[in-house]
Amino acid sequence: MNGSLRWRIILTLVVAVVAIAFVLPSFPSLHTSGLKKVLPDSEINLGLDLKGGIHLTLGVDVDKAILNSVAQMGQDIRAEAREEGVLVLRPRVNDLGELTFVLLKKEQQASLEDILSSRFANLKVNGKTVQDNGQVLYTIGLKPDYRAKLEKMTLDQAVKTIRNRIDQFGVAEPDIRKQQDNRIQIQLPGLDDPQRAIKIIGKTAHLEFMLVDEEADVSKAVRGIVPPGSSLYQLQKRRADGSYAKQPIVLKDDVVMTGQYITDAKTQFDSYGQAYVSLTFNSRGARIFERVTGNNVKKRLAIVLDGKVYSAPTIQEQISGGRASITGHFTTDEAHDLAIVLRAGSLPAPVTILEERSVGPSLGQESIDKGVFSTILGMVLVLGFMVVYYRFAGMVADLALVLNIVLILAGLAAFGATLTLPGIAGIILTIGMAVDANVLIFERIREELRKGLSAKAAIQEGFGRATLTILDANVTTIIAAIILYQFGTGPIRGFAVTLTLGICASMFTAIFVSRIIFDLWIEKRKPGATLSV
């Protein structure tokens, strides 16, 4: 045996052994055996259509996120202007989503507009009105391109936050993608506790810090007489029996800070053993929180989570260091779950569940049974045909085909890809394409034998002439599969993945492995033996 053939055989055996090692963990019967300890942990993940699970469609309130950003910019403008000696009052967000504020001194217009153009380039002045008292009322909006960028960032952050939360469940291959009209589609295959997942995913954990309107009359607010720029909320107070009492409280509409700056959240206990959630902000959040607390000493700052006021402590002094806490008489479990969702990331905007659909496991099992039956039936028919029609060469093709299937399954497990029903269709299609490659090679060999070439020369010519044709055809198919993966949805991407893996495996088995067997036959054949093809 020559050295080249020996190394090719060793390489093929190594590939086959590794592939089998990745496929075996997917068999449930091996989960309790000792062999499981030495095999990789990777298993073939089944998609939602095969394993069952939940399908959610969430609607993201992007407008709310943009209003918060505009309100935050108002606070930033006021702070930047104050550092330059320019006095700006009452930054507000009007009904059109524009920022309005008052410049106290008309002669400071040039300084203010210089600050706006140099430090807030994403804003544009929609209007400015000189009032009788010499003050100037500014109306400012977002530039269209920046607004579009904010909308995209909000959706991207929402997707990232939801993915972080889902990762805590250990769900393999969740499919989370943006949809039109500010929607997010989520598919969670094989989830054991779907209701808990829905509860945590749907929990907005939209954290806001808002000032209490101390001048408002709460009794009038309850009757519907709320001062302009403020709104009536309910302060949650936990009773001894675990229920919550609600106390009316009036908050100013402007959000002085949101939870988007949180870098960590964890459960802590005070001196009375009461659980609360400790927050840590990033550097920008720390600066904003320090400024907010410094400007509002002796005022009450409400902590609003998903529209509910959990606490409204009085600011005793400026708070630096980027730390805050949420107290609300939580139980330990409540504080723990709240810390989880805040640590995974506060959603940049409220979300609502527009559609919730469960896919039953019975439907998944039925799909699996039919898909597996179709694959086995198709494979048996193809294997039988190849043996009958090509005899020895047909057996070589069958061996290559079996190895091809093993490589596809190993690839799915190794890369953590998801096997869906369209993915099974991709495997069946690959079976046909793999055999087609062998048929092309065998027919070329037959042509060379009919020309009178020896078996060795015919094999060499047959593989040489067919290889380029096979490569050309498969490369174009791979390009199509890449496009499907890039622009397709979950099941279509599953089809693209199995098709790509199948093509790569079929080229390896049809061109490389089959050639090894033929070369081995050439070396071991007896004098006068003819090639059966």
Q: What is the DSSP string of 7-56?
A: HHHHHHHHHHHHHHHHHGGGSGGGTTSGGGGTS-S--PEE-HHHH-EEEE
Q: In the predicted model, what is the mean pLDDT of residues 250-254?
A: 87
Q: State pLDDT tens for residues 265-301.
A: 778 887 777 778 788 888 888 888 888 888 888 888 8
Nearest to 501 by CA among 426, 441, 450, 451: 426
Q: pLDDT at residue 346 above 70?
A: no
Using DSSP bridges, classify how beta strands 418-419 and 45-46 pair: parallel, antiparallel or unpaired.
parallel
Mean pLDDT of the chain: 81
Query: Three-state secondary structure along 132-149?
Result: CCCCEEEEEEECHHHHHH
Model confidence at 348, pLDDT cuts 50, 70, 90, reads confident
Say which DSSP state 531 is in: -
CB count in 10 Å sphere of residue 233: 21
DSSP secondary structure string for all residues of 76-144: HHHHHHHHTT--EEEEEE-TTS-EEEEES-GGGHHHHHHHHHHH-TTEEEEEEEE-TTS-EEEEEEE-H
Q: What's the CATH superfamily of 3-45+361-524?
A: Multidrug efflux transporter AcrB transmembrane domain (1.20.1640.10)
Q: In the predicted model, what is the mean pLDDT of residues 135-150?
A: 88
Model confidence at 16, pLDDT cuts 50, 70, 90, reads very high
Record the tokens describing residue 84, joined without a space. 């330059």
Record the tokens describing residue 197, joined without a space. 């997942």
The CATH architecture annotation of domain 63-147 reads: 2-Layer Sandwich (3.30)
Boundaries of CATH 3.30.1360.200 in the chain? 206-332
Is 206-332 a CATH 3.40.220.10 domain?
Answer: no
Q: State pLDDT tens for residues 458-474.
A: 888 888 888 888 888 88
CB 224 within 8 A of CB 250: no
Boundaries of CATH 1.20.1640.10 in the chain? 3-45+361-524
Q: pLDDT at residue 36 above 60?
A: yes
Helices (H), 415-489: 421-450, 455-487
